[in-house]
A = this chain, B = another copy of it.
Amino acid sequence: MINIAERHQYILNKIQINGSLDVQSLCKELNVSSVTIRKDLKLLEDKNLLFRTHGGATLNNPYTVDKPVNEKEHLQSAEKMRIGALGAELVEDNDSIIIASGTTVLALARCIKPKGMLTVITSALNVALELVHNSNIEVIQLGGLLRKTSSSVAGPYSDNVLKNVFCSKLFLGVDGIDLEFGLTTTNASEAYLNRQMIDSSQKIIVLADSTKFGKRGFGRICGIEEVDHIITDSGISNHTINALKDLGIKVSII
């Protein structure tokens, strides 16, 4: 017999490979009722991991013409999407949150579908533009020097805004996580801004795929002990997981 998590993994694998799947086949393959499969698909759809259709599900929105993307990029972005989706579940109604910049937190932004009101402060222009069309979300764009590589701002321009707010959660994407050196990013002024964001937030949630562990970028943001929660993928070593848990950091693995 196979448990629910394994079933979900099976479904996600199959849809990654085939692009689509149908309820009846899954019933037979997994030896469960169609009701259960539909509940699975509904749950995975809520996490934005697939799109349900009448009779099954597809990986991509069936009503958009898909641009050809390179296979590796595609898989990688699927992983980021799942990290982002898990992060998005932490967002609650009437929250005020900060979203930093990076592709992983952009994936998170795409998964946020609040039922109630939500205030989002962000340094990333693409995050802001992603969220602005949702009428339940009030978006505050931080100002600053726009970086060529990341379409997000950095520098000291937003100090006074961040000094005058306090948010319940910060979602941070980083370039390096090192147990001794802490969190890092490639750019010093981005690190400075991230530091300010940390000071304005109650909970620090870091989104990073497992390749980021053990790496050190140029700009140091903060020590590892300031982090409350890390969301990553299964590539992370047990040793690292234990070390983080010993520090009182919650670790979620997709």
Contact = CB atoms under 8 A, between A and B. Distances in A.
A83 to B, nearest CB: 25
Nearest to A132: B146
B144 A5 contact: no
A146 B132 CA distance: 7
Contacts of A252: none
A39 B95 CA distance: 43
Contacts of A49: 63
A62 B160 CA distance: 47
A8 B140 contact: no
A179 B145 CA distance: 37
Interface stretch (A27-35, A71-79, A150-158, A168-176): A150-158
Contacts of A51: 5
A32 to B, nearest CB: 14
Given A125-B125, A128-B125, A132-B146, A55 B4 contact: yes
A5 B148 contact: no
A6 to B, nearest CB: 6
Interface string A128-148: 110011010011111111111
B161 A143 contact: yes
A140 B146 CA distance: 6
Interface string A223-248: 00000000000000000000000000
Given A44-B63, A129-B151, 15 more contacts: A3-B22, A3-B54, A4-B53, A6-B62, A8-B62, A9-B58, A9-B62, A125-B141, A135-B148, A140-B145, A140-B146, A141-B145, A141-B146, A142-B143, A143-B153
11 contacts: A3-B22, A3-B53, A3-B54, A8-B63, A9-B62, A128-B146, A132-B151, A135-B148, A140-B144, A141-B144, A141-B146
